[in-house]
Structure 1
Amino acid sequence: MDLFGLFRSKPIAPEKVPTDTVIPLHHLDDTYINAAICLDFSMIFDDVLDDEKLIGAFERLLERPGWRRLGARLRRNSKGKLEYHVPEKYTTERPCVNFTKATHDMSISQHPMGAKIPRPTAKPEVLHRAAEILPLLLPAHRNTSINDWIYTDRAQLSVHVVAFNDATVVTLSWLHTLLDAMGRNMLLRAWTAMLEGRDEDVPEFYGYDFDPLANLGKQEMREHENSSPVEEYVLKDRRLSLWGMLRFVFNLFWETTFYPVEDGRTVIIPNTFFRKLRAQAVEDLATAPTDTLMMNFSDPANPKPFLSDGDILCAWWLRLFLSCQPWIDPSRTIDISNVFGMRNLLTQTEPQLLPDGVAFIGNCVTAVHSFFTFQEILTLPLGHIATRIRRDLVKQTTRPQINASMQANREALAKGGAALYGSGDMIMANFSNWSKGKMFETNFESAVKSSHGKDKTKGRPTALMVEAFLKGFSIRNSGACVGKDADGNYWVSAALRPEAWDNVRKALEGLS
């Protein structure tokens, strides 16, 4: 216990501005996990960009109806719930975005940290630790906890520009309560439209002062959905009991207490290497159990088993770094938890909660679970793991199943807990695939002053880096696909123990 903390005065939030509009956060935004994650997303361009044009377009976007909410100040009310305070007018003293800039009169490759920014290699290899590069990408005073927003008058979004003679780094920073990966995609697309003068192409901001998903999963809503019959959640019987929950929390506490250090690193999977992975995974399907195969009926006369790139990436990447942790008992359960974006589903199924063509900026995801023993992760062919992940995705993401899982989450939260599935001894290996967000296709060509890279990447990022600062829990054994670059290379990352990374490096060196 921090005894000295007992005598520290608690911080005080700024006085409420009477002219601010107060808006409660959506219920999928105001969660413990979202409030504990600060994110920094860096785009590296092989161009010199005009930052005044960039920020000018961003500020004009956040002056538009609905979009103004992104410049709000975050507060916690007397009931402990989070809310946005939207200024009536953005000013120099209360801007819609926190903008900072650093300039280096040199090439990015001449900078000791700039030279470490991940770049594609001939074969997959572990690249530099994110912590070694962050001081270059971020301002000196970055936000590291929700208190940095609640107890200041800072805007929700920060943009930090680092200028070199031949490159520009643009870093967006925010608290996860604000938006998810596809929300970021919509923000970047709208920003680009404003930059190019296509104001009419900016979509309607949906859910400014109401929560479109407020009733998702509620019992009374499910009972009145004629087209979405009430179903029990397929994982209902695998929900953790109190004892199982305590065991899971204890194991997590033990791991992070005795092995507190974890590193975030990036691996770039060359296009040629991934094509071989895909061919191997598809070949493996010939021996996979038939009840795990998901068929593609685009050619009704010749249906074939289907695997997406995301299924294969998830299976290969998680299997690789988990297999590099020999301290895991082979009998332990592995929960491969895939992040599933719900926007398309809630647009295309009834009742339609999100109209087509609008921008829903917020958090709109759930988890899809696939359970394996660690022994299965070590021994099953790649395609067998990937097709089980695909099967679980298909089964768990129908509208009735999303409704059922959301209702279970609501009931758990109402009792002050959380709905977890699996077994008490499990290790959660989370995977988030941002490829659909097409971050590498962000187009700032209208702000290019001079270009120093390939023609096809002019105004587009050639490297992406993501860093999370967490308060109160760990994302160890979590992986992500950051995206697919212009040359077809997939960028993946993970947070692991340093000794696990040493083993991943050796495993990659042994690949042909």
Structure 2
Amino acid sequence: MFGRSVAPSKIPTDIVIPFRFFDDTPLWKAFILYSMFVFDDVLDAENLRDSLEKLARHDGWNKLGARLRKDNQGNLEYHVPTEFTEERRPLTYSHITHDMSASDHPIASKIPNPSSSPAVVCDPDDFRELFRPEGGPISLEDYLNRDIPQLGLHIVSFTDKTLVVIYWPHTLMDALGKKALMNAWILMLQGRGDEIIPPQGGDGDPLADLGKSPTEAHKLANQRLSMFGLAHYGMNNVLDLFRTQEHRMVCVPGSFVESLRNEAIGELTANGTEDPFLSEGDVLCAWWTRLAVSHLPHATQKTVVLNNAYSLRKSLETDLLPKGAPYVSNAIGFINVLLPVQYIFEKPLSYIAAATRNAIKELGSRSQVEAFSALWRESSGKIPPFFGDGSMHMITYSNWSKAKLFETDFSAAVIKSCQEGGRSGLPTYIQNNQFGLVLPNGFPIIGKDNDGNFWLSGYMNKGLWGRIEEQLAKA
């Protein structure tokens, strides 16, 4: 279905919009994302489709239905139909109905419930037959070689559950961009379309000047990997790209995280820190880091780099991205913490968590964001800057808790609720799957569900997840 290598003819009447600088990068072009929301309700699929299509036709939101093309220089650009029609719809849509409960379906019956203690609960890739429609795109070429919109909606209906899947190329938006999309979709679903605010920037690029006027050096500039260092790192890790990667989902009860947080703050207070603050994400990542590197020799000085993806929106709200309108695009930076393996195991959990919190304070300032973006702009091939050394072990975190995806309120589309406790229309499980680049040791934190449980997933070399499961069983 996606075998053609020749791009479809350009439509002369399409509105052509150039890509924004920080969307057209090798990193984002490598990912096609599928996000599956599970509702313990029967939802009106046509209502969901109709409201999302209306959003794509709404003022400022038509880029959702854009087709991807390349200009004569090979740069990506959006081609937006002047009018969406039956032949050129604003989104790709598919709907499958099963006349049975999810518990009677061989695959859907494996959708996990929360665990009472930290546990590996499933392999999210086991649900591929459910979340990916037949012929669903798995690479940027699939978008370039067909006349399909960026946004896709796939719904799977059971008699007691509804799976709502949206999929898109990462070049379209990041996690908070997705949150803005979901918020606007909910308003349209509720008949409140007049309250929807157009995204920032219109057809322009609000971040066109980001990174062009640094006033200070990046604080980790002297630890930046050179091209030689990157090549060294690549050689050391190239086998990972060919090893079998195993994907798992982990549930961590909120009470467990809160206990870790209280303990860590107590340690900092005992060590003389005044009014210490650690977020739940700080301690969750610190705890998970120990598990994720537990296969390494504990006494080694080998560098572990915690590569934390974070949204630039708050840092840029004073000038480039003022509050009041969503930014549906990519506004992501990376905050790095460099620690020797030995410290991770010998020092208390509070040390790792505080190192992350301090890095966020130091490297998340407006001037440091400018400095980081300047390094990104000057890099060869638009690759974001990396810090550390060629023999480092890198773990990448992307915490989506601020996107509050579990608060997605589709109650306006509920036909029959099968939930208990008056939570009709809220998702009970969410997972994210990616096609294209599979990033070993990359862990998205999906967020906190409505019972306070945290969910995180990721890929690791074959065998490592089994070791983690053994440790969790002993905890």
TM norm. shorter chain > 0.5:
yes
Secondary structure of residue in 1 paired with 2:12: coil
SS state at 2:218 partner: coil
| Equivalent residue for 1:244, pick from 217, 225, 229 | 229
Q: Is 2:284 the counterpart of 1:313?
A: yes
Amino acid at match of 1:264: H
**d(CA) in 2 for partners of 1:73, 1:242:** 34
What is the CA-CA distance between 1:10 and the residue it aligns to?
7.4
Structure 2 counterpart of 1:343, from 307, 313, 317 = 313
Q: Does the alignment pair 1:206 with 2:173?
A: no
1:122 lines up with 2:116 in the alignment: yes
Candidates 104, 111, 121, aligned match of 1:110: 104
User: In structure 2, the residue corresponding to 1:457 is in which secondary structure?
Assistant: coil
Kindly indicate whether residue 440 of structure 2 is the aligned counterpart of residue 479 of structure 1.
no
**How many angstroms does 1:418 deviate by?**
5.1
**Partner Cα separation in structure 1 for residue 69 and residue 290 of structure 2:** 41
Matches for 1:223-372 after TM superposition, within 5 Å: 230-257=215-242, 260-286=243-269, 303-323=274-294, 325-326=295-296, 330-347=300-317, 349=318, 352-372=319-339
Number of the residue aligned with 1:436: 402
**2:73 equivalent in structure 1:** 79
In structure 1, how many angstroms separate the alpha carbons of the residues matched to 2:459 and 2:117? 21
Alpha-carbon offset, residue 263 of structure 1: 1.6
SS in 2 for 1:172: strand
> 1:25 Cα shift?
0.9
Deviations 1:34-77 (A, max 9, x none): 01101100000000000111111111111112101110000111
AA in 2 matched with 1:360: Y
Q: Is the 8 A contact 2:257 2:283 kept in 1?
A: no
Deviations 1:210-258 (A, max 9, x none): 0000000103xx4xxxxxxx1111011101233322211101213333x
- The aligned length equals 473
Secondary structure (helix, strand or coil) at the match of 1:127 reads strand
State how far apart, in whole Å, the 2-side matches of 1:275 and 1:261 are. Answer: 34
Q: Structure 1 402/147 Cα, relative in aligned 2: closer, same or farther at 3 Å?
A: same
What pairs up with 1:169-208 in 2 under 5 angstroms? 169-208=163-202
Unaligned runs of 5+ in 1: 1-8, 223-229, 294-302
Q: Determine if contact 1:65/1:205 at 8 Å carries over to the other structure.
A: no
Q: 1:452 aligns with which of 418, 426, 436?
A: 418
Distance 1:266 1:255 in 2: 20
Structure 1 position 135 matched with structure 2 position 129: yes
User: C-alpha separation between the residues in 2 aligned to 1:255 and 1:97?
Assistant: 36
AA at the equivalent of 2:471: A
Aligned residues of 1:48 and 1:163 also touching (Cα < 8 A): yes
Instruction: Indicate the SS of the match to 1:62.
Output: helix
Q: Tell me whether 1:380 sits opposite 2:347 in the alignment.
A: yes
1:331 is displaced (CA, Å) by 2.5
Tell me how far 1:409 sits from its aligned partner. 1.1
What are the Cα deviations for residues 365-398 of structure 1, in whole angstroms up to 9, with x where unaligned?
Answer: 1000000112222222111100011001100011
Q: Residue 149 of structure 1: CA displacement? A: 0.1
Residue equivalent to 1:4: none
Which whole-Å deviations, capped at 9, do the CAs of 1:428-482 have from their partners, x for residues lacking one? 10111101000000000000000001233210100001111124xx411111210
SS in structure 1 opposite 2:293? helix
Match 1:94 to one of 79, 88, 94: 88
CA distance in 2, matches of 1:271, 1:408: 38
- Displacement of 1:356 after TM fit? 1.7
Measured after TM superposition, the shift of residue 287 of structure 1 is 5.6
8 Å CA contact retained: 1:442, 1:461: yes
Q: How does 1:404-443 map to 2 (within 5 A)?
A: 404-413=371-380, 419-443=385-409
Change (3 A) 1:172 1:10: closer
SS in 1 for 2:379: helix
What is the CA distance between 1:116 and its match in structure 2?
1.2
Match of 1:468 in 2: 434
CA distance in 1, matches of 2:30, 2:96: 28
8 A contact 1:322–1:477 mirrored in 2: no
In structure 2, the partner of 1:55 is: 49
- Residue 502 of structure 1 aligns to a residue whose secondary structure is helix
Residue identity opposite 1:63 in structure 2: R
Moved more, 57-66 or 439-448: 57-66
SS at match of 1:503: helix
Q: Secondary structure at the match of 1:388?
A: helix
Structure 1 residues 417 and 366, CA gap change in structure 2 (3 angstroms):
closer
Are the counterparts in 2 of residues 264 and 467 from structure 1 also a CA contact under 8 Å? no
Alpha-carbon contact 2:92-2:152 (below 8 Å) kept? yes
Shift, 1:417, TM fit = 5.8
Q: CA 1:496–1:456 in 2, change beyond 3 Å: closer, same or farther?
A: farther
What amino acid maps onto 1:267 in structure 2? V
Q: Distance in 1 between matches of 2:170 and 2:9?
A: 24
In the aligned structure 2, how far is the partner of 1:328 from the partner of 1:425?
Answer: 16
Is the Cα contact below 8 Å between 2:26 and 2:383 reproduced in 1?
Answer: no
C-alpha contact 1:120 1:268 (8 A) present in aligned 2: yes
Determine the structure 2 residue equivalent to 1:296.
none
Residue 445 of structure 2 aligns to which amino acid in structure 1?
C
Aligned-partner SS, 2:310: strand
> Distance between the aligned counterparts of 1:90 and 1:329, measured in 2?
61
Structure 1 length-normalised TM: 0.89
Match of 2:464 in 1: 500
